[in-house]
Chains A and B, each alone.
Chain A
Amino acid sequence: MVRTPPVVWRSRVHRYRLVGSKCKSCGEVYYPKIFSCPCGGEAEEVELPKVGRLISYSVVYAVDEESRDRSPVIVGLIDLGVTRLVGEIVDVTPEEVKSGMHVEAVFRRIGEAGERGVIVYGLKFRPVM
């Protein structure tokens, strides 16, 4: 993702509140958002549930340069019930994380455009409090 003001700005609500898409015809839900459903239906924006179950995960050591200081990064496939998404799992160590674990959204920094540029915020997931 390019971290310039217009790009960071236009997707802010989707990142902050987990807003995805729901098909008006078949009801299928997607995150990140889509523009029309494979069924041909029109998609509308919808706020997704903030709690889910971890289907599977990976403990990533080969991370991008800017993630070096928080390596290893844990990334999971999360089942929100209405849809699934891939998200970062925080507040858990590689020893503690387990498939099947219940997780909930938590507001975090997800990047920044260098030391002087804009800060990108969004949701990650942690074990349910």
Chain B
Amino acid sequence: MSRVESSVGIHGWGAYVPRARLPMSEIAREWGWSEHQWKALGMIEKAVAAFDEDSTTMGVEAALNAIKRAGVRGEEIGAVFFGSESKPYAVKPSATIIAEALGITPITMASDLEFACRAASEGMRASIGLIASGMLKYTLVVGSDTAQASPGDVLEFTASSGAAAFVLGRAEGAAAVFEGSFTYVTDTPDFWRREGAPYPSHGEGFTGEPAYFKHITEAVKGLLGELGLRPSDFSYAVFHQPNGKFPVRVGEMLGFRQEQMKVGLVTPQIGNTYNGSALIGLSRVLDHAKAGERILVAPFGSGAGSDAYSIVVTEAIEERRGRAPSVDHYIKNKRNISYSEYVKMRRILVK
């Protein structure tokens, strides 16, 4: 029996990474960390949104790229799901701003989702249902964050800015088609930000085994079990990547090899873009993948939960690729900044 997911596919994908890069050495110098601290995290530098950027503006840019690749008109999109934990407005949807900017309004669903770093992924799973049921033709899923980190916290090495977006629709004509999806959630307080607090708090080591590793491995095992697939059946594996080390370790725990994970691992160059993390990784994989290749993607969100998707690339991917800038294009288009510029750009400076 064919699964519901197989009637839905990715028509367009797009990423956005802001131009400024803060090298790890700058943060270490500012706060008196040893270089072993960031090298242990597998990090090189992180992307920093400009003074006039926020999760909404980056979301618009990523979505524009996804729509260009999909070749659809704004009015054909029936839902906009915006996943972020750094919303410019605490109350007032960013999804409507994005929808208006892209000509999707007014006949559309639109909402902001919150589930730490996997909010956008929830939008992707919900989209599969909405499209498979025949209720909607296309949906737009956007994951975007200007991740906050308390200055001096170890989180500052990784928390960065970026966005990814996908236009989902019926499998016919899609650049990649879903094969299956699986979600695993529990109430696990590994990382949170209380209402009104400017920076998140975390449980240090507690973010690892009971949270990140437990949820991702359960979601991926659940998916593989349902589909009857093994890690070796995949050309690529992309995991949520809070640093450069966790995704590699969780992949190895599940039986994936380094080569399968290499293309989708972008955190060392751009940092952890939270809702963009695994999804920018997926965008980069789609920038490279060939027809027939199978991709595993597993976003994770604190609090906690993980989704796992199996996606198979189609022939249509080739003509879509060149319609918008690749993830690598954004990674290469950079300008290094100092810690003090970073403080100004991210509005950390108290005047």
Chain A interface residues toward B at CB < 8 A: 12-13, 16-17, 69-70, 90-91, 93, 106-110, 119, 121, 124, 129
Contact = CB atoms under 8 A, between A and B. Distances in A.
B53 A12 contact: no
Closest 7 CB pairs of A and B: A107-B60, A70-B51, A16-B101, A108-B52, A109-B52, A129-B325, A91-B19
A110 B52 contact: yes
Contact of B54 (A90, A109, A129): A109
Given A70-B50, A119-B88, A109 B57 contact: yes
Given A69-B344, A108-B57, A109-B52, A121 B101 contact: yes
Given A17-B101, A17-B103, A90 B52 contact: yes
A13 B106 CA distance: 12
B52 A119 contact: no
Q: Is the interface of A mostly helix, strand, loop or mixed?
A: mixed
A107 B61 contact: yes
B56 interface: yes
Given A69-B347, A90-B50, A121 B57 contact: yes
A21 B50 CA distance: 31
Contacts of A70: 50-52
A16 to B, nearest CB: 4
Contacts of B325: 129
Nearest to A93: B335
B237 to A, nearest CB: 29
Contact of B329 (A93, A124, A129): A129
B100 A69 contact: no
Contact of A69 (B51, B56, B88): B51
Interface of B: 19, 50-54, 56-57, 60-61, 64, 88-89, 97, 100-101, 103, 325, 329-330, 333, 335, 344-345, 347, 349
A107 B101 contact: yes
A12 B105 CA distance: 12
Contacts of B97: 121
A119 B101 CA distance: 14
B230 to A, nearest CB: 39
A121 B51 contact: no
B89 A16 contact: no
29 contacts: A16-B101, A17-B101, A69-B51, A69-B344, A69-B345, A69-B347, A70-B50, A70-B51, A90-B50, A91-B19, A91-B50, A106-B61, A107-B57, A107-B61, A107-B64, A107-B101, A108-B52, A108-B53, A108-B57, A109-B52, A109-B57, A109-B88, A119-B54, A119-B88, A119-B89, A121-B56, A121-B57, A121-B101, A129-B325
B333 A129 contact: yes
B48 to A, nearest CB: 12
Contacts of B329: 129
Given A70-B50, A107-B101, 9 more contacts: A16-B100, A16-B101, A17-B103, A69-B344, A69-B349, A90-B52, A107-B60, A109-B54, A121-B57
B23 to A, nearest CB: 17
A24 B97 CA distance: 30
Nearest to B89: A119
A41 B88 CA distance: 42
A124 B60 CA distance: 13
